[in-house]
Amino acid sequence: MDGRAALARRLIETRVDVADAVLERLGPRSSGQASALIVRSMVSALGQSLDAAGPEAVVSWARMAHGAYALSIIHDLVAAGCDVAAGEGERLDLDFSALLVFLEIVKTNVAEAFPLAPGPRYESPNRATNGVIEGVLATLKARDEATCAHSQATGAWCRRLSEAMGLSAATTDVVVKSGVLHDIGKIATPDAILFKEGALSDGEWAVMQQHAEFGAEILAQLPALAPFAPIVRAHHERWDGRGYPFGLKGEQIPFEARVLAVADAFHAMISDRPYRPAIAQREAMEILREGRGTQWDAEVVDAMIAMLDAPRTATGRREAARG
């Protein structure tokens, strides 16, 4: 492993300690304006940028953070993060001058993407929200492309299911955006657990389950995305009360989260995962039927099954009419 890759890994694996160092460097007045979770995500993005030899991950983080923080705070965090990273790099066998040049490139790219004195402009709330979502997804993609792809596909299934249920445009929009964002908390899941090919131990599974809470915490700190936090937090609750993180039961679970849960589970089942291959759609539908009224809201499962069965039913009717 070369020096820069070693530094990238150190930043990511010790992001809690590095984030503390960044906050300490900023001082109490500035550090009090940024949450520890956001600073840790910036440190992870900086590590990803180092590993990829490009600034894109940090620029994407800035796009996400821009939904909650003033540009001056974002610039201060990136600058302090680069300073701390440089300090960490001094302890490693690497081209230190090249590292300093790269960190300046990172800061310059953030400054160009988010100038401190932008000209006046109007941005609709929905467009602003979509911009923050794009930043969040880019951050997730830098961490794990497969999880990002699953999140986008889950959003698409949420749209199909919501429309099949006849939900309003406003409710559909909330369900879709929550679907796209539902796994953002996995940016905080350790690599050894997130990418493990075998079954998780009880301890590892407990850590994995924290992604719902982590995701909600991240979204709650971004005003444009805060409305989706309760839905993301509840997307692994079960109708029978045996889900997580709070063991909510039945209609205690937000309706949008109940819709998301079915779309999420279905796409997860028909997709390859690190620990198992994809299963057939018909088998996934049968699993949904088996969990109807226990794991998932029966009404939502029925709508999903009817939607998935519709093309086959239509084909059967056409064949019968010809026969």
Give the C-alpha separation, 189 to 194, whole Å. 6
Identify whether 97 is part of a domain: yes
pLDDT-above-90 percentage for the chain: 49
Give the C-alpha separation, 257 to 288, whole Å. 16
Give the C-alpha separation, 285 to 303, whole Å. 11
Q: Are residues 79 and 153 in the same domain?
A: no
Q: Are residues 218 and 150 in the same domain?
A: yes
Highest mean pLDDT (candidates 1-5, 205-209, 216-220, 316-320): 205-209
Over residues 182-189, the mean pLDDT reads: 88
Q: Which pLDDT belongs to residue 274? A: 74
Is pLDDT above 80 for 318? no
Dihedral (Cα; 240, 246, 252, 255), 10-degree rounding: -90
φ/ψ (deg, to 5) at 276: -170, 155
Q: Are residues 63 and 142 in the same domain?
A: no
Residue 146: is it exposed, middle or buried by C-beta count within 10 angstroms (0-12/13-18/19+)?
Answer: middle
Helix 96-113, helix 36-52: angle, nearest 10? 120
Over residues 271-290, the mean pLDDT reads: 90
Q: Are residues 109 and 137 in the same domain?
A: no
Q: Which pLDDT belongs to residue 187? A: 82
Q: Are residues 175 and 209 in the same domain?
A: yes
Q: How many DSSP H helices and E strands does the chain contain?
A: 16, 0
Q: Are residues 192 and 304 in the same domain?
A: yes
323: confidence class by pLDDT, cuts 50, 70, 90 = low
Q: Are residues 58 and 195 in the same domain?
A: no
Q: Are residues 109 and 132 in the same domain?
A: no
Q: Are residues 107 and 172 in the same domain?
A: no
Identify whether 54 is part of a domain: yes
Is pTM, for the whole model, over 0.85? no
99: confidence class by pLDDT, cuts 50, 70, 90 = confident
Give the C-alpha separation, 123 to 105, whole Å. 28
Q: Residue 264: which CATH number?
A: 1.10.3210.10
Identify whether 41 is part of a domain: yes
**Of 83, 113, 143, which residue constitutes the final position of a domain?**
113
Identify whether 319 is part of a domain: no
Give the C-alpha separation, 234 to 223, whole Å. 19
Task: Convert the pLDDT of each residue in 27-63 to its tens digit.
Answer: 776 656 778 888 999 999 999 999 988 899 999 999 8
Can you give the residue range of the structural domain that contains 11? 3-113
Q: Are residues 139 and 49 in the same domain?
A: no
Q: Are residues 102 and 162 in the same domain?
A: no
Q: What is the DSSP string of 63-81?
A: HHHTTTS-HHHHHHHHHHH
With contact defined as beta carbons under 8 Å apart, do 259 and 158 qualify? yes
List the structure tokens of 82.
């680069």
Highest mean pLDDT (candidates 86-90, 144-148, 260-264, 312-316): 260-264
φ/ψ (deg, to 5) at 292: -65, 120
Identify whether 118 is part of a domain: no
Identify whether 320 is part of a domain: no
Q: Which pLDDT belongs to residue 220? A: 86
243: confidence class by pLDDT, cuts 50, 70, 90 = very high
Task: Of 61, 47, 190, give the one whose Cα is nearest residue 114.
Answer: 61
Using only the alpha carbons of the chain, give its radius of gyration.
22
Q: Are residues 195 and 98 in the same domain?
A: no
What does pLDDT average to over the chain? 87
Beta-sheet strands, E only, within the chain: none
| Other Cβ atoms within 10 Å of 141 Cβ, number | 19
Pick the catalytic residue from 107, 177, 186, 249: 186
Report the domain count for the chain: 2
Identify whether 99 is part of a domain: yes
pLDDT-above-70 percentage for the chain: 91
Instruction: Look up 107 and say whether it is catalytic.
Output: no
Identify whether 39 is part of a domain: yes
